[in-house]
A and B are shown apart, each in its own frame.
Chain A
Amino acid sequence: MEFVIVFLVFAGALWLAWRRSPRLAVYAFAAGSMLAVTLYLHHATDALPLSF
């Protein structure tokens, strides 16, 4: 679910950038980036066993 939120935040940032709301777009970009960094720190030590 966390990745759904991150993708939606960045999609929102892209849309805001297109809609000429650069300040809001940058805030959304920053929020998405902080979420992504948090997810990276959480998942970075996953073992990733091969399943295929």
Chain B
Amino acid sequence: MRMDNRLQAYLDGELTLEDLPLELRARAREWNALIDDIRDASPAGAPLGLDTRILAALDSAGRRARPAWITWLLRPRLVPVPPAAALAVLAGLFLIVTVLGVPGGDAIPESRVYVQFVVEAPSAETVQLVGDFTEWQPTVELEDADGDGVWSGRVPLLPGVHEYMFVIDGSDWVTDPNAAGYQDDGFGQKNSIVAVSPVSGT
């Protein structure tokens, strides 16, 4: 049923009661009473103990954040290293890899597997990778060394299904058009999905 535009404007706060003709004022008061009724019928707040149940559910789902030091350790990051120090680090890494015997370089300790992410973004200045594995923080920078607009980077991931997106120029969150699958992210976009299989023999 069509409603008088002046009544709609009053209910939107654009007109006062005095702006309405007399025949509409009674209708306006009825609407105010109806809205008061709905408001009065609502609870004041959450029931006692809801917060405890929510936090317990987070615990039982194993979804609570890791301790800060573990998060810090696992967070991928770019570290500027002077050339001399870089040589020393490389030498150290060579020694560690030789001693531990990581097979083929496809896997690293803790059963993580390197996954290559590639996206075409010819006009981008920067491209970052974010996902559940970075706590959705833009800590992984992709590179386009030859300037052909194809950005890529390798990231060690634990086996399982991971959700991710690319961040173009620090602000545009985009889905990977070549992802293996997609998951609605609840914010009007879709996350890209990558499934990581464990490497046998590790």
A and B interact physically:
no
Binding site for A on B (CB under 8 A): none
Binding site for B on A (CB under 8 A): none
